[in-house]
Amino acid sequence: MTTIFSRIIAGDIPGTFVWRDERCVAFMSINPMAHGHTLVVPIDEVDHWVDGDPELIAHLFEVTRVIGVAQRDAFGCERVGVIVAGYEVPHVHVHVIPTDSMSQLSFANAAASVEREALEAAATSIRDALRRIGRPEVSD
């Protein structure tokens, strides 16, 4: 069965993308724990990250690192947190969350919804930061 993330990647459901390459995408979370919360998702459907091809998983975490660098630059956060939970959607995804305290890294803090303008503003900030560090994978 096709996951919601595959439908977003295919363009069947709207997504606010900041990154796209041949193996993965990154788009804004619609239930963010903090402004700029981004999901890094492989294009191929893999349910559990430990079952992924080692090269794919290494690529996902390198993209996660690059997105984190861009978030730190864009938002001036103290840290960038990463969560790989895998319960919400059966498709590997890495939560990349700009934070200023450990307490922000909780799904209890996730917004029930977010305005489209807030998603676009965060995405624009991340894209601009990615461009400043010379990344051609920026997705508009």
Q: What is the pLDDT of residues 21-41, one digit of tens each?
A: 999 999 999 999 999 999 999
**Residue 123, domain member (yes or no):** yes
Q: State how far the alpha carbon of 40 is from the alpha carbons of 91, 92, 112, in Å.
A: 11, 9, 20
Instruction: Give the global pTM.
Output: 0.96
**Residue 139, domain member (yes or no):** no
**Residue 105, domain member (yes or no):** yes
**Residue 85, domain member (yes or no):** yes
Residue 1 has pLDDT above 80, yes or no: no
In contact, 74 and 125? CB cutoff 8 Å: yes
Q: How many domains is the chain built from?
A: 1
Residue 138 has pLDDT above 80, yes or no: yes
pLDDT at 63: 98
pLDDT tens, residue by residue, 62-109:
999 999 999 999 999 999 999 999 888 999 999 999 999 999 999 999
**Residue 138, domain member (yes or no):** no
**Residue 137, domain member (yes or no):** no
Mean pLDDT of 41-45: 97
| Domain limits for position 78 | 4-132
**Residue 81, domain member (yes or no):** yes
pLDDT at 64: 98
Q: What is the CATH number of the domain that holds 13?
A: 3.30.428.10
CA distance 57 to 45: 12
pLDDT band at residue 140 under the 50/70/90 scheme: confident
pLDDT at 130: 98
**Residue 83, domain member (yes or no):** yes
